[in-house]
Each structure stands twice: as structure tokens, then as C-alpha cells.
Structure 1
Amino acid sequence: MSALPDGFTVRLDRRTRVVDGGRVLIGGAPTRVARLKPAAARVLRDRELVVRDPVTRGLAEHLLATGLGDPVVATLPAIPLTELTVVIPVRDRPTQLARLLASVPPQVAAVLVVDDASRRPQAVASVVSWHGARLIPLEVNVGAAAARNAGLAQAATPFVAFIDSDVVLQDGCLDLLLRHFADPRLAMAAPRVLGLDADEPNWITRYENARSSLDLGGDAASVRPRSPVTWVSSTCLVARIAHLGAGFDASMRVGEDVDLVWRLVDDGFRVRFEPAATVLHEHRTRLRTWLGRKFFYGTGAHLLSVRHPDDVAPVVLPPWGALVLALLLAQRRWSIPAVALTGVVVAGRIAKRLGHTRRPWPIAGRLTGEGMIAALGQGFALLLRHWWPATLAVGLFSPRVRRAAAIAAVADVVWEYLRLRPRLDPVRFGAARRLDDLAYGAGVWWGALRGRSPKALLPAIVRSGRARRSAE
């Protein structure tokens, strides 16, 4: 596989810290401490490096592979839209389809609309004809994954964009995503999915605009299992056709996008999330359909656990993180002192591994604190989202579980409300947050029960890797 080309620019991720005069980097996913060799440290200037030779190429690859750095997209060469085919799977929804087609840049090589056995095929065909796109009709409803594959099979360009019909492209979105493919190992890039302003927004719309399951935030990221961004949605994806193989798993009606991302990563390719590129998505506004969609998403966890058993855990914790959660759940007088002692021991172990740095203890203390906050957040998610049926059942008999769930529910809403600043009052935001968790968690449990496997419900307890790494 080709290496990064000369001129490819990488900038350290905003969360990556530089210490010891640029000789040590702390960050990435999972968090690591990377000690740079002198030659590598010299080429990293103002948190950026430009690929020019074997040293810079090796360091750039290391930064991208570990999540310590991200491509500087504006410096990458443009790829013309004439090398891109747009594939749109649709079933009815002619109004939304017309809106999307109007937002597709006219420079793209082709627009293929795959009609997945619409109930009103004439309405879809009329919209497709009006906008000069090409229609691929399917006689039997096969689902979005298989419909995308039908379009993929007809694409004759190096790149393809899969876009759902309830989306509106923002200016420059596809151009920006295509720039990422200057990286020859990149298989797929995805934009940020924001909410489309509704004519009459309600509390569901406002909640989704602030905390949609499809909105992965404002930080660029490498996408891979067990990282801050583990997946990207098929709402909008741009991919290199040569790396896609057969495409989506046509047997999956949910979770097919996650499955494809993880298969590409397993094959040694990269997937990028680029929030500077945006699309607008028409969120559901009715309570029944909104909760039904959340439930539907949750059922995909079992399907993914069958195909990717090592990557589908609801939470990923180090052993000491699991211990901290157990101590807090015990709610004894000694719980807080025991948590503090655990923190000191963990920080000591990290500091010992950081003996090559000038001030290991402040770094170790900060990493331990961040790890505890992350563990606490994952504990909240277990109680309120992934395991809520068990929380409810055990809470009927255990005051400690009831208290833990109540504290987690309040703390989670306060944290998310202050972080997101939604255009919604705290009470309705909190209610929507809990309904979101209840519907998704119910879907996870339903999928596990139907599949007769608890795999999608089991947390992963993993040991930390080595804190000390060298980079060429």
C-alpha cells in the first residue's frame, strides 16, 4: 500500500499535550505517552509537520494511526468532483429526495437514485427525471444496505458518496471530504450531521438538534473501535471504491454502517470523521417514530456482537476503573477513601512508567483524573442506558442501586445540559435524555434476547498498554 505523499501535512490533535520541550506527546485514543526520538522531535514545529522524507513520513503515519494528530485538510490537494458518483437509496419520500438532489453539486460525475421498491414509484421517478439523475428501480424492498450496493455496482468513478434521502448537503461538503483521500490508506470519510431546522420545532427537534445520535461532535477524529469516535453514520459517507470490496453487508437492516467501518479498519485502512464538512438531517419529530428509531438502533448491537465480538462492548474500562465504579456503588463510609487510594496507586504506576519525563507526577495525576471521570461517565451509561432494565429490577430491592441511579440521572443531565447549551429548558431536556436512553437500551436488550446472547451487554475490561512509546 502506498505511503503518505510528500507535502501531506499533519497537525497535533487539540487534545494532544506536548511536554519536555516537544520530546513527549500525551494523547491519542486510547491515551498514550509517546516519546519522540530526537530526529522526529526536530521536524514537529508549531504542532505541525509536513511529510518530506522517511523521518517525517514515519512520524506522520504514527500520529494518524494513534489519533495523536489529524490531517490539515486545507493543505491537501483538491480532487475534482468529476471523480465522484453519488448514490442515494430511497423508498418514497419524493419531497425529501427533491430537496437533496437540489443540493448535490452539478459537477459530480453521476447521481444514481436507487428506488428500493417505493409504494409510489411514479413520484420518485418524476423527481429523479426532473433533476437529471439516473434511476435504478428495485422490484423488491431489500433495505438501505443492499440498495447502496446496487448503486455501488453501477458507479464508474474512483470515489462514491452514499447519501440518505432525508439529508441536505452544505456547500463544499463533498469537496472537503474528497481532499482527505490524498491519504492512500483512507477508505472512507464522513461529515458532521447537524439538524435541519424544522418549520415548527418541538421539544424532540430541539433535543435532537443538541444531542442527536448522528452528531459526533466538533472534533476531527480517526474512526475505529474503542476510540472516542467508534463509528460514522451512513447518513452521508464518501468512500474510495477500490477499498470497499463488496460494500455493505446486505443482510443487515441496522448497524450496516458500523459493520463496514470496522471491517475496513480490520483490513488496515483508515476512516476519518471531518466535522468541518457538514450535512443537515431531517430529524424525527413525533414521539412514537423518534423512540422507535432509537429502539431500532439499539437492536443493531446484537448483530454487531456476532460479527465483531471484540469491539461491541457497551463500555470499555481498565480493571482499576471497574474497581472505582464498584467502590462507589457500594456506598460505604470507606468508599471515597478507597477510591482516593486507588487513584494514588494508579497515578504511582503511571508515574513510574513516565520516568523518562521531567515531571512525571503532574502528568500521572492528570491522566488518572481524566481516567476516573471517563470511568464515571461510563458507569452512568451502564446504569441509565445499556443496563437500565437490570437497574430497574435490582433497584426494586436495593436502596443503594436506587440512589446510584438517581444521582447518575441528575448528574448526567446537568453535565450534558451545561456542555451542550440546548435551546430547550432543563426539565424537557432531561426527560428527552432519559427517554433516549430507555428506548436505545430496550433495543439492545431485545436484540440480545432474540439472539440468545448477552455479548452486546457485557463490558470490556482491558489492561492499559505501555505508557512509553518511541516514534521514528
Structure 2
Amino acid sequence: MTPPVGFVIELDRHTRVIDGGRALLGGFPTRLLRLTPRARRLLVGRTLPVRDAAGALLADRLLECGLAHPVAASLPTPPDSRYTVVVPVRDRPRQLDRLLRSIGADRPVIVVDDASRDPAAVAAVTAEHGARLITLAANVGPAGARNAGLRLVTTPYVVFADSDTVLDPETVPTLLRHFADPRVAMAVPRITGLPTGATTWIERYENARSSLDLGAHPAAVRPGTPVSWASSACVVARVDALGQGFDESMRVGEDVDLCWRLVDAGLRVRYEPAVRAAHEHRVRPGDWLLRKAVYGTGAHPLALRHPEFIAPAVFAPWSITFAAALLVQRRWSVPVAGAVLGVVTVRITRKLDGTTHPYRLAARLTANGAVAALSQTSALLTRHWWPLTAVGCTASRRVRRAAAVAALADIALEYRRDRAPLDPLTYGVARRLDDLAYGAGVWLSALKGRSTAALRPRVVRSSGPVPVSGKAAAGARPTTRH
């Protein structure tokens, strides 16, 4: 199944056009795509309008490699774009009323009351908006509530919307355009903060760095990439692709599990930040910290179902050596780390043989890999492994230095990127509390499950871009992959 005629894609912002348009470099993992003369003619600047079978094959390949993304505004609407909104709710009548107002009265809505303590209030709001109400006798959690609604959906598409969200008018129509690609099973918008009138430091931090906000750039949702999962706070999905829906045994992480199951089945999940759903973030310290910890407790259940995807960090063998050399803080640390980078640069250069300025490209890729290795190491020290770091700090001056550098560097880099409306000190405190709470949840789940699977990094063997033939545009499959 390939994108139809009329489909338009645009190269990812990180995809580099090199050698005068004869090759593309980028994607996740990084790879080199050499383009045939016919393939080059299909590109219009950094976009590819699908006009024929060759264009469809090339577009499908670029999407699969993460080198490009659909241009949502240019995509056709599916012929049958009917959808039903399913809203799981437990109490929260005020939030439910707000959400149903944003949806409007011209769409079928199923409200699933997940054993509210005050079911009459939920029923009254549901009736006021003309929605269908399903009442569950026992609390089954968000996954079970969504599935109860999904079983009653008769339209081709379903929209799952949590009761504490508000939908913009263009959110669902824009997401539906992504289903012009027959391999797309689910599409999600950007989740932003809903103004509540409160001005606490937690709300300002969450508005800049919510766990649900996946950033300002479109992406394929795939494990091992910058957007490795998507929240179920707002989801548009093809009903026939969902099967039995969410895993009802999971009270947290069920959205991550669904994304990974769909991807594992060869389907696509798209993240589209051009449209948004506003989410009412928790702003009280206790609620906020508890929610972060709860997110962390999903780690072990996910490790049982997706052991290959759950690793808190992914390293190439060289990046482990590079990071370890710097962590031991010896006189030879910097020379050894530099030597490692030099060897990796040479190896990548060989894979880029035939391109213009291969050493320059290799040096850039090696530098990006080094930054990624240090960033992941810092995250391990301050987030996923912080209990071990705390113990190490009591016994080792080197561990204390490494932890301090990791924490401060992380705050400096992320503060600049997030542009949070907070002073650096408050932002830094919030950032560390965020990490401590999440890490505590991960460790709690690991101890409860008696497994370290969710705490162990994964080592991959590739150390550079993967060369791939560009003959897909002419109807052939890629011929080289290492």
C-alpha cells in the first residue's frame, strides 16, 4: 500500500540534500539514500507531490525512513470521513461539559462513565449535549472504558478524547487527512496546556515541558525515534486497524503499548503538531508529582510486552566507550574519547564514500552522535538511575562531579530550548523534581516486577548512516543495508 496520487510530503527539517540533489541524508536511524535521476526529477524543492506510481513508491520509502512527513494541509480528505467520539470519564462533570461544548452537537459522541462516584452529574451533562451514555458498574480504567465505547462505534473512524481536554475545531478534520495514506492507523495532535487562570510555577513549567507535549515538529511515531510514543489524551484512529483496542490490563502506558503494537504490525502512527488539543494540566504539587511517578510505573508492564523498545537509553558500542572514558575522569579520558570519535569518523566516512565532502559530513554525524551519547548518559544519571547516582554521590567525588555536571548541563540546554516563562532556578528545580518523580515510578515498577528490564540500556551495532539504494523510485527495492 502506497500513498495515492495527490499525496504531498515534505523533507524533514533534519534531512540534508547533498551532492547537488543526488542523495539524501537523515532519518532515524541515520541513512544515506542515493537518488536515481528519475527520483530526483520527482522532488520539487523539498517537497514531493505524488503524481504516479514511481512518486508513490519514493514517497512511501521516504516516509518509512523518517526522511519526510506528509503535508497535512495538502492531503485529501478520506472519501468516508465519518467518525464517532469516545470519551472515558470518571466524575469530572465540569470538564466533560467543556469538552462536549468544544466537540459540538453535529457528531456522534459516546460517553463512557467509568463507575463515577456521582453518576447523576455525568448523566446530566451527557444528556444536555445529546451524547450517548454508557455506564460501567465497576471501574476498569481508561483502557477498558475506551474499549467499551469502541465496541459500539459504527463509523470508519473513532476519536478518543479524555474528559480534561478541549478540541480545536480543525483538530479532527486535519488529522483525518493523514488517513489518505492507507498505512496510517492513528494520528494524534500536539497536546498543549489549557489556561486555567492559575499562574503557579508548575503550570508554567508544564505549559513549556509537559510530558504529553511531543514538540513543534511533525513526526512518525516509532520507538527509537525522537517521538517514540503518543498520548491517548486525543487520538484519531481507523476502527478496523485497532482490533481489540487498548490492553485493559494496563492502567498506565496503555497508549504507548497501542502505538508500539500498531507499528509492530507494519502500520503508521502520525504526530501532527499543526493542530492541537488543550489539556488541563495538574497544577498542585502533590497531584503533579504523583502523576509523574504514575507515568514511570508504566515502565515494567511495557518491558514485559515490548522488551526491545523500552530501554531508557540506546547506545552504539563506540558511544559507551566514549561516555565511559569521560565519566571516569582520568588524565587519559579526553584523549581516549577523542580517539574514539576519530575512529568513528573514519568508519562513517567509508560509508559515505562517493559523496562530496565525506569527511565533513562524517564529522558532523559523529558530533551529533557524541552529543546524543552524553545527553542519554545525563538522563540516566539524573532521571532513570538517580537512586544509584544518589548512593554513588555519598561515596565518590567523581560521581558527585558527574552528577552535578549532568544536572546543570541538562538544565542549561533544556531551559534555552523550552523557553519556559520561569527564572532558571525555578525551572531547574521543577526539572529535577520531574525527573526524580518519574524515576521513582520506574524503580517502583521494576522492584514490583522483580526485573531490571526497564532500567537496562540497549546496545545497537550500527555506528553510522545506513547506505540505501534509491532505486525504489523506479520500482526496485533497496539493494544495500548494513
Shared fold (TM-score, shorter chain, > 0.5): yes
List per-residue Cα deviations over 1:152-194 (Å, max 9, x = no partner): 0000100000000000112301111001000111000000000
For the 8 Å contact 2:91–2:116, the answer to whether it is kept is: yes
Match of 1:264 among 262, 273, 281: 262
- Matched residues in 2 for 1:3 and 1:278: separation? 27
How far did residue 82 of structure 1 move?
A: 6.0
Moved more, 321-330 or 49-58: 49-58
Residue 307 in structure 1 maps to residue 296 in structure 2:
no
Q: How far apart, in 2, do the equivalents of 1:199 and 1:148 lie?
A: 30
Q: Who is 1:289 aligned against?
A: 287
Return the alpha-carbon distance in structure 2 between the equivalents of residues 79 and 171 of structure 1: 18
Q: What is aligned with 1:187?
A: 185
DSSP 3-state at the match of 1:439: helix
Q: Distance in 1 between matches of 2:171 and 2:465?
A: 39
| 1:380 paired residue number | 378
For 1:81 and 1:254, how far apart are their aligned partners in 2?
A: 33
Measured against aligned partners, the alpha-carbon deviations of 1:311-331 in whole angstroms (never above 9, x if no partner) come to 100011111111111011011
Do the aligned residues in 2 keep the contact of 1:79 with 1:175 (CA within 8 Å)? no
In structure 1, give the amino acid aligned to 2:268: R
User: What amino acid is the match of 2:43?
Assistant: L
For residues 106 and 222 of structure 2, what CA distance do their matches in structure 1 show?
Answer: 32
The equivalent of 1:355 in structure 2 is 353
Q: Deviations over 1:17-74 (max 9, x none)?
A: 1000111111111111211222212211211112222321111011110100001111
- Determine the structure 1 residue equivalent to 2:11: 12
Contact (CA 8 Å) 2:75, 2:178: kept in 1 or not? yes
- What are structure 2's unaligned runs of at least 5 residues? 473-482
Contact 1:299 1:444 in 2 (8 A): yes
Q: What's the counterpart of residue 102 of structure 1?
A: 101
Distance in 2, matches of 1:19 and 1:172, equals 36
Identity of aligned residues (%): 58
Secondary structure at 1:396 match in 2: helix
Q: Which residue of 1 aligns with 2:48?
A: 49
5 Å-filtered alignment, 1:121-200, equals 121-200=119-198
2:112 corresponding residue in structure 1: 114
| TM-score, structure 2 as length reference | 0.96
Stretch of structure 1 that moved more, 3-12 or 90-99: 3-12
Aligned CA distance change for structure 1 residues 434 and 219 (closer, same or farther; 3 Å): same
Answer yes or no: is 1:83 the counterpart of 2:88: no
**Distance in 2 of aligned mates of 1:306 and 1:96:** 34
> What aligned pairs does 1:234-245 form with structure 2 within 5 A after superposition?
234-245=232-243
Is this contact kept in 2: 1:91–1:117, CA < 8 A?
yes
Name the SS for the 2:113 alignment partner: strand
Q: Quote the residue 1:343 is aligned against.
A: 341
Question: Given that residues 177 and 191 in structure 1 are in contact (C-alpha distance below 8 angstroms), is that contact kept between their aligned partners in structure 2?
Answer: yes
From 206, 210, 213, the equivalent of 1:212 is 210
Given that 1:88 and 1:162 are in contact with CA atoms closer than 8 Å, whether structure 2 keeps it comes out as yes
Q: Matched residues in 1 for 2:347 and 2:272: separation?
A: 36
How far did 1:77 drift? Answer: 1.1
In structure 1, the gaps of 5 or more residues are none
Q: Is contact 2:81-2:176 (8 Å) kept?
A: no
- Aligned residues of 1:96 and 1:166 also touching (Cα < 8 A): yes
1:31 corresponding residue in structure 2: 30
What is the identity, as a one-letter code, of the residue corresponding to 1:441? G
Contact 2:63/2:69 (CA < 8 Å) preserved in 1? yes
**Counterpart Cα distance in 1 of 2:66 and 2:455:** 27
Paired with 2:189 and 2:163, the residues of 1 have a C-alpha distance of 16
2:397 is matched with which residue: 393, 396, 399? Answer: 399
Aligned to 1:70: 69
Partner AA of 1:37 in structure 2: T
**Distance across 2 between alignment mates of 1:127 and 1:266:** 39
CA contact (8 A) 2:80 2:156 kept: no
Query: 1:344 Cα deviation (Å)?
Result: 1.1
Report the count of equivalent residues: 470
Please report how far the alpha carbon of residue 338 of structure 1 lies from its aligned counterpart in structure 2 after TM superposition.
1.4
What amino acid sits opposite 1:211 in the alignment? Answer: R
8 A contact 1:82–1:107 mirrored in 2: no
CA distance in 2, matches of 1:78, 1:107: 18
CA distances 1:293-340 after superposition (whole Å, capped 9, x unpaired): 011000100000000011100011111111111011011111112111
Alpha-carbon offset, residue 289 of structure 1? 0.8
Q: Calculate the TM-score normalised by the size of structure 1.
A: 0.98
1:398 Cα deviation from its structure 2 partner: 1.0
* Residues 8/308 of structure 1: CA separation in 2 closer, same or farther (3 Å cut): same
The alignment partner of 2:297 has SS state of: helix
3-state DSSP of counterpart to 1:189 = strand
Could you tell me which amino acid in structure 2 is paired with residue 51 of structure 1? V
8 Å contact from structure 1 (residues 89, 114) kept in 2: yes
Separation (CA, whole Å) in 2 of partners of 1:42 and 1:357: 19
Matches within 5 A, 1:392-471: 392-464=390-462, 467-471=466-470
Conserved? CA contact 1:189–1:273, under 8 Å: yes
Please list the CA deviations of residues 428-449 of structure 1 after superposition, one character each: whole Å capped at 9, or x if unmatched: 1100100000000010011001
TM-superposed deviation, 1:80: 7.7
Q: Is the 8 A contact 2:105 2:129 kept in 1?
A: no
